[in-house]
């Protein structure tokens, strides 16, 4: 189906149990009706997504929340009115009838109202949609239609909405516990939540263990990773850049430090975001995908320090995504 087809055509496909890729302000989502078990299962099959990784339900109005939960606290209502539509996902105790496939069998359900006109219109026409990022499982999330075509060719109906505005997935906060806990950092920070609601949520520092279903996407498995090996730029590697080694196939991603290589050294590629963390968030996944296209084999990223996180939005979310791509936390080093 052409990306220029009326949005009603895509809504009809969804109501018939098909999958449709659509844009949001964060990343592109792979959508299916939240009430169709066969369509939901097709998402897991299409992505290669583990069955214990819960899905986020996307809605177009606060009124839709009551279809999925009847336990909405005052704090949760404040967050919905403050940050919806927007990049914030709230986890609630679920109502009977919510599909187990959507929630990975958990007694909670994750809800979000995306801030994108195409997404909101599609949901209004088709009903609530589950919509994980529309990449193959483990790969960088797609922020452009070309990323979808790279993963799937033309096999999926795709609404091309151009580049996504933000480039990183939503903040996920668990409202089913007291006090609430951020399960996945995103553009909406703990400080913003504190300003809106008067409480400062903790950020979960654990990952769901083997045999335990995570409460949020992005907690248990390696995510967001290109084919190239991603690692943190340690002092040991930084010192090697001044040697005569051939660094072809290597990409440095910097954000704060001075460029350690002047002039650029023997095939080494350098991307420097110069303290612009919103641009870094917007372009990170595209940089990962372009690295694969350019046959880059190793990507080294300057560590994101506590000082950077304190002073820059959305550095906490960048640290989270890069840590998941590398498979380990950032080293506690100063370069």
- CA–centroid distance for 93 within its chain: 22
Contact between 92 and 197 (Cβ < 8 Å)? no
What confidence tier does 3 reach under pLDDT thresholds 50, 70, 90?
A: very low
| Average pLDDT across the chain, whole number | 89
What is 7-203's CATH number? Answer: 3.90.870.10
- Return the SS3 of 108: strand
Instruction: Report the relative pairing of strands 250-254 and 20-22 from DSSP bridges.
Output: unpaired
pLDDT over threshold 50, residue 2: no
Domain boundaries, the chain: 7-203, 229-326
Q: Indicate the pTM of the whole model.
A: 0.91
Q: For residue 25, how many other CB atoms are within 10 A of its CB? A: 19
In this predicted model, what pLDDT tens digit does every residue of 141-196 receive, in sequence order?
Answer: 999 999 999 999 999 999 999 999 999 999 999 999 999 999 999 999 999 999 99
Interatomic CA distance for residues 58 and 279, integer angstroms = 25
Q: For residue 16, how many other CB atoms are within 10 A of its CB? A: 11
In this predicted model, what pLDDT tens digit does every residue of 209-262 receive, in sequence order?
Answer: 444 556 666 555 567 889 999 999 987 766 666 566 677 889 999 999 876 665
- What secondary structure letter does DSSP report for 133? B
Helix, strand and coil in the chain, % to nearest 5: 30, 15, 50
Give the DSSP letter string of 173-215: EE-SSSS-EEEE--SS-HHHHHHHHS--PEEP---PPTTS--S
């Amino acid at each position: 189906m052409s990306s220029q087809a009326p949005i009603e055509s895509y809504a009809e496909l969804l109501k018939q149990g098909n999958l449709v890729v659509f844009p949001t302000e964060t990343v592109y989502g792979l959508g299916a009706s939240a009430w169709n078990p066969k369509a939901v299962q097709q998402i897991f099959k299409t992505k290669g997504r583990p069955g214990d990784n819960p899905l986020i339900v996307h809605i177009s109005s606060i009124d839709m929340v009551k279809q999925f939960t009847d336990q909405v606290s005052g704090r949760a209502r404040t967050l919905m009115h403050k940050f919806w539509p927007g990049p914030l996902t709230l986890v609630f105790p679920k109502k009977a009838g919510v599909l187990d496939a959507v929630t990975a069998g958990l007694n909670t359900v994750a809800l979000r109202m995306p801030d994108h006109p195409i997404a909101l219109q599609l949901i209004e026409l088709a009903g609530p949609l589950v919509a994980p990022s529309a990449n193959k499982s483990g790969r960088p999330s797609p922020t452009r239609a070309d990323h979808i075509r790279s993963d799937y060719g033309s096999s999926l109906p795709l609404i091309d909405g151009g580049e996504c505005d933000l480039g990183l997935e939503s903040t996920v906060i668990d409202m089913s516990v007291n006090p609430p806990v951020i399960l996945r950092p995103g553009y909406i920070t703990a400080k913003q939540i504190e300003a809106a609601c008067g409480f400062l949520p903790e950020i979960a520092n654990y990952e769901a263990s083997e045999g335990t279903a995570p409460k949020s996407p992005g907690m248990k498995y390696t995510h967001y990773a290109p084919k190239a090996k991603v690692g943190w730029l340690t002092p040991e590697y930084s010192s090697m850049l001044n040697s005569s080694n051939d660094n072809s196939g290597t990409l440095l991603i910097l954000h704060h430090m001075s460029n350690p290589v002047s002039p650029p050294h023997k095939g080494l590629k350098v991307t420097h975001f110069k303290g612009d963390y919103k641009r870094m968030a917007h372009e990170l996944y595209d940089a990962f995908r372009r690295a694969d296209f350019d046959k880059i084999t190793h990507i080294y990223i300057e560590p994101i320090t506590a000082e950077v996180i304190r002073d820059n939005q959305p550095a906490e979310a960048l640290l989270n995504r890069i840590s998941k791509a590398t498979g380990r936390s950032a080293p506690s080093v100063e370069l």
